[in-house]
Chains A and B, each alone.
Chain A
Amino acid sequence: MSALLDVRGLCTVFRAGDATVRAVDGVSYTVEQGETVAIVGESGSGKSVGAMSILRLIPDPPGRITGGQILFAGRDILRATDDEMRRIRGGDIGMVFQEPMTSLNPVLTIGRQITEAIEQHRGADRAAAAKRAIELLGLVGIADPRRRLRQYPHQFSGGMRQRVMIAIAIACDPKLIIADEPTTALDVTIQAQILELLRALTRRLNVALIIITHNLGVVARYASRVNVMYAGRIVESGMAEAVYHRPRHPYTVALLRSVPRLDRPRQARLDPVQGQPPDLTRLDEGCAFRPRCRFAVEACAKARPLLEPTEEPSHLAACFRSRDLAGLSGAAA
C-alpha cells in the first residue's frame, strides 16, 4: 500500500532582495497511516517552510514552490485548486502551530472557531456542530466545556489555547496532523501535557502526525521516525532509534553531542558544533555543512551528497563519508 503522504523532491524558494534562497531544496520523505514522524532542525533549516508547503501556506511573493510533488492519499496537493486546498486544510489535514494566540481569532468565541470548522468542512448544522464542539473540548481535556465554549482566546492560558487548537485540528477527522513547534512557547510541564495529549489522540484516532521541532528530547520521546534537516535538505533519515544511536551524518553526530543531558552527571565541557549556521544566500555547489564539518574532505567541496541508504536499508544519510562514521555514536557518546 502506498504511503499516506509522499513528498518527492519538494523545492520552495524565497526571494530576498536580489538573492534567491532555496529554503527547501529537494526534500523527499513519506509518512504512513497513523505514524508519527519528526522533522528536526535548527532555525533556517527549512523544517517549517517544508511543512507550510504541504499546506500550500507559503506567502507568494516572496515565496514559491518551484518543484516536486506532494502526494497525499495518492493525489498531488500541488495540483489541487484553491477550493480543493481549502477543503484539505483543516479537513483531511489538521494543523497545530507554535503560537496559539496568533492562530486563534481574538474576537470570536472559542466555540465559534470550532463550530466554524465543522460547519465548513462537514456541512453540519449549528446544533450538531455545537454538540460536537462540546465533545471535542472534553476530548482534549478542557473542563466545563459548555461554559468554556462561550469564552474568548484571551481567557485561556497558553496550554489551554493549544488544547483548543488541537480540538480544531481533530474536529473534522483528519488523516494527518502537522504540528509545527507545538510546545515551544509552553512551560515544560505543560509541554509534556500537550504532547501526551497529541500522542494519545493520534493513537486513538489513528491519525498520522508530523511533528516539527528543534527539541531532540521531544523527538526521542514521541517519534518513530525522524528526518534531520540542515540548510534546506534532509541530511539524515531513519528510525529514531537508529539515527540517535548510529548517526551517519556528521551534523547529526555533532548535534547530539552538543546537547547537555538531564540524565547524566556534569561533564567537563560540551562538544558544540563549531562555526556559524549557513548563510543560505551564499551556498556553493558543495555540501552545506562542510565549513563546520570535522570529517570534510576535498570531494565535499565539489558536489552536494545525495540522501542514500547506509548499511541499514531504511536509514539514509547525505554524506560522502557516512560509512566512515560507523562506530561513532551520538546519544550514547
Chain B
Amino acid sequence: MTAAESAARPLLEVKGLRMHFPVTEGIMRRRTVGEVKAVDGVDFAIRRGETLGLVGESGCGKTTTGRCILRLEHPTAGEILYDGIDLARLRRKELTAMRRRIQVIFQDPYSSLNPRMKVGEIIAEPMKVHGVEPDAAKRAARVRELLGVCGLGPGFAERYPHEMSGGQRQRVGIARALALNPEFIVCDEAVSALDVSIQAQVVNLLEDLRERFGLTYLFIAHDLSVVRHLCQRVAVMYLGRIVELADGDELFDNPLHPYTQALLSAVPVPDPSVEARRTFQPPGGEVPSPINPPSGCVFHPRCPIAVESCRHARPESREVRPGHWVACHEVH
C-alpha cells in the first residue's frame, strides 16, 4: 500500500460489530437464559482528523460500541479495523501497544480520577505504565506542559481531585488522555456532567486540541446540540443498531429516519419564540428491552409510519443521498 492510499483510508472502520452479553440465572449453577444484544450489527468509519458523533438514548449501545473499540469489551463478532489492524483480534501484548494510540475521556470527572493521587501523578500514570518517559524530571516537565495545554496552571499538579471543580477535573482527564500523544480519542459523554457555562469551555478545548494535535474523535453523547456543534458526521443508534448516518448539518436539517425525527423534535431549543412556533409530537412508548428486541425493524412498535413489512424484515442501511445512510423500509 502506498502512502497516499494509507492516508485516504479511514483511520477506523467498524464492520458488523456485535456485542452480546449473556443473561444468567442461578447462583450455584449459573446458566445462560438469554442475551442482551447491546450492539447488534454496527458499521461505520471515521476519517483521520474528523469527529464522528454517536448519539442515542440510554441502552442504545453507543457506550458499548466505544468500549469495544477500546477493547474494554471483547466483541462477540465483527471487525474493528484501526489503521488496517483488527483490534477485535489483538492479544493482550499487541493491545498494550495500540493503547498508546487510542485513549478515552470518560463522563464523570468525579469517579474516573483516583482520589488518593495528586493531579500530577494522575497525568504521569500512563507514561509510567507504558514506560514512555522514564526520567522523573522530564516526566514532571511533560505534566506541566499538558496542564498548560488544557488550560490549568502548573500549580494544579500538587492538588488532589477533590480540591477542584468539575470543569477542572475534566481538564485533568483530558490531560491524562493526551499524555501518550494519542491519535484517536473516544469521548464518552465527556461534557455531559458539566454545567452549561463550563461545558462550553471544555467543548472549545476539545476543538482546539483536535486542530493542534491532529486528533480524531469518536464523540459519544446524548446531547444533540453539543453533537451538532462538535461533529462533522453523526450516527444515530437505536437498540443496538445505527438507524441513520450523515454529515452533521444534513442529518440535523434533513433527518430521514422516523426515530431521528422524533429525537430531534423532542429537544427543546433555548428560544421561546422558536418554541412557540414549533409543533411536535413526542414519540410514544419507551425503548423496548434489548433482551427480546422487536422483530424486523426494532423501531416499528413506536414508529408513526410503520407498515406491515416492518414487523418482519430488518431494514438494511442504504445510501439514499450521497453520504446519507438510512436503515428504514419507508424512506426512499
Contacts and interface: CB of A to CB of B under 8 A. Distances in A.
Interface of A: 42-43, 157, 159-160, 187-193, 196, 214-222, 240-241, 244-245, 254-256, 258-263, 265-267, 269-274, 276-277, 331-332
Given A188-B266, A254-B197, A261-B269, 12 more contacts: A192-B266, A220-B272, A220-B274, A221-B275, A244-B270, A244-B271, A258-B197, A260-B229, A261-B270, A262-B225, A269-B207, A277-B197
Interface in B172-218: 195-201, 203-204, 207
A188 B222 contact: yes
Contacts of B229: 260, 266-267, 270
A219 B276 CA distance: 12
B15 interface: no
Nearest to A239: B272
Given A189-B262, A216-B270, A265 B204 contact: no
B89 to A, nearest CB: 34
Contact of A271 (B168, B200, B222): B200
Contacts, number: 143
For the complex of A and B, 8 pairs with smallest distance between CB atoms: A217-B268, A272-B200, A273-B197, A192-B282, A260-B229, A216-B270, A192-B266, A187-B57
A245 to B, nearest CB: 7
B286 A260 contact: no
A241 B273 CA distance: 7
Contacts of A216: 196, 270
B263 interface: yes
Interface string B220-236: 00101110111000000
Given A259-B200, A262-B228, A331-B271, A189 B195 contact: no
A7 to B, nearest CB: 23
B248 interface: yes
Interface residues of B, number: 47
Contacts of B197: 42, 254-255, 258, 272-273, 277
A191 B266 contact: yes
A42 B224 CA distance: 20
B267 interface: yes
A244 B253 CA distance: 24
Contacts of B270: 216-217, 219-220, 244, 256, 259, 261, 331
A266 B228 contact: yes
A277 B195 contact: yes
Contacts of A271: 200
A148 B263 CA distance: 28
Interface string B50-65: 0000000110000000
Contacts of B195: 42-43, 214, 277
A142 to B, nearest CB: 12
A187 B262 contact: no
